[in-house]
């Protein structure tokens, strides 16, 4: 079963407890947040794949919160609303929510929608979870780059997806269009600039010197290439666990 890290934003403690119980029973890791500032702080950590947001948490401000989140992150957002009108659904989707559930929803339906979003924002379960480089390690499961020493850099869901795709095609150049198609699951048009931004962020977190990259190289007139170090690649697949 596809499980992930879920941020739960609910103002009602009893409702929050009920939702947490169901999510954890399914195997998800759950973090609770009870105010807009707390939700945004958790999202900026890049450690969550899905946000379940109770519209009652921020009366009249749930859509503004969705827009603020969407400007900073591509994690999946499911909005739980006490209003089932067609306009509210439209407003929720326009504000950046991926999904909407009206009052009286079944928990089984919510879990199915969480799993659907996780299939979009997380890699396939069969992919390798850890890549060991010469002086650092990439952990796709925890969304972290560790090393050298005690240094830890956290990856956002989109950064993790782009890096995984580059690593899975190591030593082969990939066009920005192809990266956009695979990561954003669209035709790539309009997302190429997003790819450039994510690559710049990844270099800051991965490279010893971001201005002179060692791992994520730019192949002029083609795109980007993850360069697996020869000494690491030479040991076979032992560097991928």
Domains recognised in the chain with CATH numbers = 5-121 (3.40.50.2300), 130-239 (1.10.10.10)
pLDDT at 96 over 50: yes
**Residue among 55, 59, 52 nearest 113 (CA):** 52
* pLDDT for res 203: 96
Between residues 115 and 82, which one has the greater pLDDT?
115
pLDDT at 75 over 70: yes
* pLDDT for res 55: 81
Within 13 Å and on the Cβ side, how many CA atoms surround 37? Answer: 0
Q: Are 65 and 77 in contact (CB under 8 A)?
A: no
Please state whether the predicted TM-score (pTM) of the whole model is above 0.75: no
- CA 54 to CA 128: how far, in whole Å? 34
- CA torsion angle 229 232 233 239 (round to 10): -130
Task: Read off the pLDDT of each residue in 132-161 and give the average, rounded to a whole number.
Answer: 87
pLDDT at 241 over 70: no
pLDDT at 215 over 90: yes
- CA 199 to CA 40: how far, in whole Å? 23
Structure confidence at residue 14 as a pLDDT band (50, 70, 90): confident
């Amino acid at each position: 079963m596809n499980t992930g890290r879920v941020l739960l934003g609910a103002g009602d403690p009893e409702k929050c407890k009920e939702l947490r119980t169901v999510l954890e029973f399914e195997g998800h890791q759950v973090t609770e947040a009870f105010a807009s500032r707390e939700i945004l702080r958790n999202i900026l950590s890049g450690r969550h794949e899905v946000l379940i947001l109770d519209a009652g948490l921020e009366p009249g401000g749930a859509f503004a919160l969705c827009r603020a989140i969407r400007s900073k992150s591509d994690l999946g957002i499911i909005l739980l609303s006490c209003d089932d009108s067609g306009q509210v659904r439209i407003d929720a989707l326009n504000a950046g929510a991926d999904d909407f559930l009206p009052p009286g929803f079944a928990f089984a339906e919510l879990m199915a929608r969480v799993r659907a979003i996780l299939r979009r924002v997380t890699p396939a379960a069969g992919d390798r979870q850890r890549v060991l480089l010469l002086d650092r390690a990439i952990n796709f499961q925890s969304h972290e780059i560790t090393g050298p020493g005690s240094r830890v850099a956290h990856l956002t869901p989109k950064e993790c997806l782009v890096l995984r795709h580059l690593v899975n095609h190591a030593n082969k150049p990939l066009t920005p269009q192809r990266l956009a198609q695979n990561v954003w699951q669209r035709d790539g048009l309009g997302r190429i600039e997003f790819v450039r931004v994510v690559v710049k962020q990844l270099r800051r977190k991965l490279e010893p010197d971001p201005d002179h990259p060692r791992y994520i190289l730019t192949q002029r007139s083609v795109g980007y290439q993850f360069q697996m170090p020869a000494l690491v690649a030479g040991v076979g697949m032992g560097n991928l666990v």
